Structure 1
Amino acid sequence: MKGSNAKQNKAVNLRLVLTQIVTLGPISRADIARNTLLTKQTITNMVEELIAINLVEEMGIKRSEGAGKPSKMLCLNKHAAFTCAIRITSERLELGLYYLNGECHSTITKQLTSPLRATDIGHVLEQFIATNNISIQTVLAGGLSVNTSQGDAISQHQLNQTLQAQLSELLHFPIALESTASACAAYQMLFGEAQTLHNFVYIHIGNKVEAAIVYDRQIMLGQNGLTGAIGDIFVTPEHNEKTGELGTLNEFSSIDSLATFVANSPEAAIPLNALDPSKHVRCAAWVAQAMEPLRIAIHTLESVLNTQTIIIGSDLSETCLDKLICTLRPFIPSIAQLGKRDIVRLIKVPNINSIALSGVATLPLHAALSNKNMQTLYMPKLFQGTPLQESVFLRQY
């Protein structure tokens, strides 16, 4: 993306410069100017503003190869504020405090026996923040993701938006809402394996199977901000005896389907994220039946989108996901295998146990980097933010 030197585009330029520093830092002002086509003076103004609110800091000197002056390098100040992550699944509530560069400060997990209200979640989060001796005023914003068994995708998304608004008003800071797959995709673009990728798909196997589609480094949000319900695609001509519908990916390859598969067996007493197909017979049988539907889903994504790669993560145990990925090969032939490839067709995310919560914590910063991403953010009514919050979320030019 290129910037504009017109004064009315200052907000766009500020986010553009910040994006360069977040994804490419340490980076010099000269490199930012070359990448964005902004003038030296515009870059200077933007950088000074970001340094003034402590969001960016100078570090070290880059020696010039020619006769030019050495350049001061710029990077994101990870200590400028915290972000908090709120992730809800059918089984647990996960909370986390993170530095701005995606590094984890602390996390906590609570097992759920019944759905929590917004007031309950807010109370637990406030206690968690206080326990870590962190002032809530130092929290830039929160990220929220919900992946449960409840209802269809549209109804669940509407419930999630209601919860997002309630939490934001209770906690008095902005909250960004995305699916777990989209949150993980955001993390991968900013701090992970996708920093140099322009087009990819992220699949997350949770209670339901989700997908995030990234095109030109933008997560496609779809109508009303809802997309990625790949678990609803039909993957078999066989009919569900209860509904009469064709079999969907969720019925075969989601964690809910794994729970159904191990029910009424000794493995039902084992946490789903601890099941190991090398030790547990029913889990191994589930992998065998989940494999072909997931192969079909991957083939569908490749044939329709032909992105650079597909990244896959999960709430499964790492051994279970490894086994599932192994059974997917050989992949169904698709357009993805044609021509020159610089990246393999499928990548397993390396930090499977922490990526979901890390991704959710990344959502506020991801929202701040683009006007398009800002639609995922809910701002409390009559919100009066800190100078940092004002600059990245509220200030209009």
Structure 2
Amino acid sequence: MVEELLDIGLVIEVGIKKEGAVGKPSKMLDLNPEGCYSFSIRMFLQKIELGIFSLTGLAIVKMEAEYNQGNELSVISESFNTLMAQAKLKKSQILGAGITFVSNKEHNLLTYQKSMDFKVALTETLALPIATENTASACAAYQMLYGEAKHLHSFVCVHISDVVEAAVVYDRSILLGANGLTGAIGEMFVTPETDEKTVELGRLNDFASLNSLQAHFAKSFTSQEALMEYCYNNPKVFEQWLEKSAEPMRIAIHSLETLLNCQTIIIGGDVDSWFLDKFITQLRPYIPSIAQYGDRSVVRLIKVPKVEELTLKATATLPLHAALSMGNMQTLSLPPFNSLEPVQQLIYLAE
């Protein structure tokens, strides 16, 4: 198998590992940064973020495109051709595409089933393998491959966006659950008070999501970037929201630790680094939990570094992550065999 990967240029030899005087020295391998690439797609309410990345996580080209309901496939196809021309790449060099959908309280861009249907339609349009998971799961895949979780076996990724998502990783596998929707921790009840209209308990989304932040400002924003800018320019009102959101998030973190006893929780989102710094500072001191017992090799909460750059890059890891085990393959849609490039046949169909 290694010889096939070397022949196709997906991996390269990077040196010799001498383990002692007995036996043949081991050849060390690494992914070839120029061997293959991944197409990344993030779907928002009215815009799409797209990019081409190397399988080592390096951004080659990126762009944004607007779309109207009904022309998403054609916009993605045109954008793909534009990016390929800019990167001077051939389609035979693309392993596959990853796609994530950004939830919105006013318009759930696609329900879970519709997202599966969209993935199949996109597979036919691009004639590429397409992998999809929620954004938190994509971030977890990235952290295992390149980031803070390369040496961890059990952790949770929390992603703060319009809603709060999470990905639970156990034994280096992302738990998808019965229907692929595991990780909707924004639906977790975190307060005893009830809503006057619905008579329901307070959910984490009501306090710690970007939707709740917009509601706090009593304003609508055209983009998450615009929301971040407004927070930066209105620190007093923003800090009021931080104080209100801290205790519900502390309760959610305590619940995750108590139920899962994970090695750590990695927190990021569709936010800026300064936002995340202030948010995490507000969470301390953490609620005492079973996470404090036993020997710890990592801290209880890890901040995603350079969080602004992560989500599109993380989405690009999904085609590679899907290939790492049969369990991950359920996130993938494949085009007909005769449409597959040699590298795709080797990675996805080799027995």
Answer yes or no: same fold by TM over 0.5: yes
Match of 2:92 in 1: 137
Inter-partner Cα distance in structure 2 for 1:61 and 1:364: 29
Match of 2:267 in 1: 312
Cα displacement (A) at 1:275: 4.1
The question of whether the paired residues in 2 share the 8 Å contact of 1:150 and 1:156 is answered with: no
Match of 2:348 in 1: 393
Residue 179 of structure 2 is aligned to residue 224 of structure 1: yes
Residue 155 of structure 2 is aligned to residue 207 of structure 1: no
Cα displacement (A) at 1:209: 0.5
Match of 1:109 in 2: 64
Counterpart of 1:281 (choices 216, 220, 236) is 236
Counterpart of 2:196 (choices 217, 241, 266) is 241
Cα displacement (A) at 1:212: 0.3
The question of whether the paired residues in 2 share the 8 Å contact of 1:174 and 1:380 is answered with: yes
Are residues 112 and 344 of structure 1, via their aligned partners in 2, closer, same or farther at CA, if it must alter by over 3 Å? farther
Match of 2:257 in 1: 302
The question of whether the paired residues in 1 share the 8 Å contact of 2:153 and 2:170 is answered with: yes
Match of 1:323 in 2: 278
Bigger mean CA offset, 307-316 vs 240-249: 240-249
What are structure 1's unaligned runs of at least 5 residues? 1-45
**Amino acid corresponding to residue 271 of structure 1 in structure 2:** A
CA deviation profile, 1:33-75 (whole Å, cap 9, x unmatched): xxxxxxxxxxxxx211221222222122334542544433222
Are residues 366 and 166 of structure 1, via their aligned partners in 2, closer, same or farther at CA, if it must alter by over 3 Å? same
Are residues 61 and 266 of structure 1, via their aligned partners in 2, closer, same or farther at CA, if it must alter by over 3 Å? closer
Any residues of structure 2 matched to 1:1-397 within 5 Å, and which? 46-66=1-21, 68-90=23-45, 92-110=47-65, 117-149=72-104, 156-264=111-219, 271-276=226-231, 279-381=234-336, 383-395=338-350, 397=351
Inter-partner Cα distance in structure 1 for 2:153 and 2:39: 27
Are residues 133 and 267 of structure 1, via their aligned partners in 2, closer, same or farther at CA, if it must alter by over 3 Å? closer
Are residues 290 and 76 of structure 1, via their aligned partners in 2, closer, same or farther at CA, if it must alter by over 3 Å? same
Cα displacement (A) at 1:187: 0.7
Inter-partner Cα distance in structure 1 for 2:224 and 2:301: 32
CA deviation profile, 1:343-388 (whole Å, cap 9, x unmatched): 1100001120111111100010010010000000011245531221
Are residues 312 and 268 of structure 1, via their aligned partners in 2, closer, same or farther at CA, if it must alter by over 3 Å? closer
CA deviation profile, 1:140-195 (whole Å, cap 9, x unmatched): 10001012215798972222112211111100001100111000100111111101
Q: TM-score scaled to structure 2, two decimals?
A: 0.92
Are residues 265 and 69 of structure 1, via their aligned partners in 2, closer, same or farther at CA, if it must alter by over 3 Å? closer
What are structure 2's unaligned runs of at least 5 residues? none
Match of 1:30 in 2: none
SS of 1:370's equivalent in the other structure is coil
Cα displacement (A) at 1:132: 2.6
Are residues 197 and 115 of structure 1, via their aligned partners in 2, closer, same or farther at CA, if it must alter by over 3 Å? farther
The question of whether the paired residues in 2 share the 8 Å contact of 1:90 and 1:207 is answered with: no
SS of 2:100's equivalent in the other structure is strand
Inter-partner Cα distance in structure 2 for 1:327 and 1:91: 33
Match of 1:21 in 2: none
Inter-partner Cα distance in structure 1 for 2:197 and 2:112: 25
Inter-partner Cα distance in structure 2 for 1:285 and 1:267: 22
The question of whether the paired residues in 2 share the 8 Å contact of 1:88 and 1:148 is answered with: no
SS of 2:251's equivalent in the other structure is helix
**Amino acid corresponding to residue 180 of structure 1 in structure 2:** T
- When the two structures are aligned, how many residues end up with a matched partner? 351
Inter-partner Cα distance in structure 1 for 2:208 and 2:46: 18
Inter-partner Cα distance in structure 2 for 1:314 and 1:210: 9
Bigger mean CA offset, 268-277 vs 187-196: 268-277
Bigger mean CA offset, 372-381 vs 149-158: 149-158
Bigger mean CA offset, 83-92 vs 248-257: 83-92
For the aligned residues, what is the CA RMSD?
Answer: 2.6
Inter-partner Cα distance in structure 1 for 2:317 and 2:47: 20
Inter-partner Cα distance in structure 2 for 1:305 and 1:245: 26
Are residues 266 and 184 of structure 1, via their aligned partners in 2, closer, same or farther at CA, if it must alter by over 3 Å? closer
Are residues 170 and 140 of structure 1, via their aligned partners in 2, closer, same or farther at CA, if it must alter by over 3 Å? same
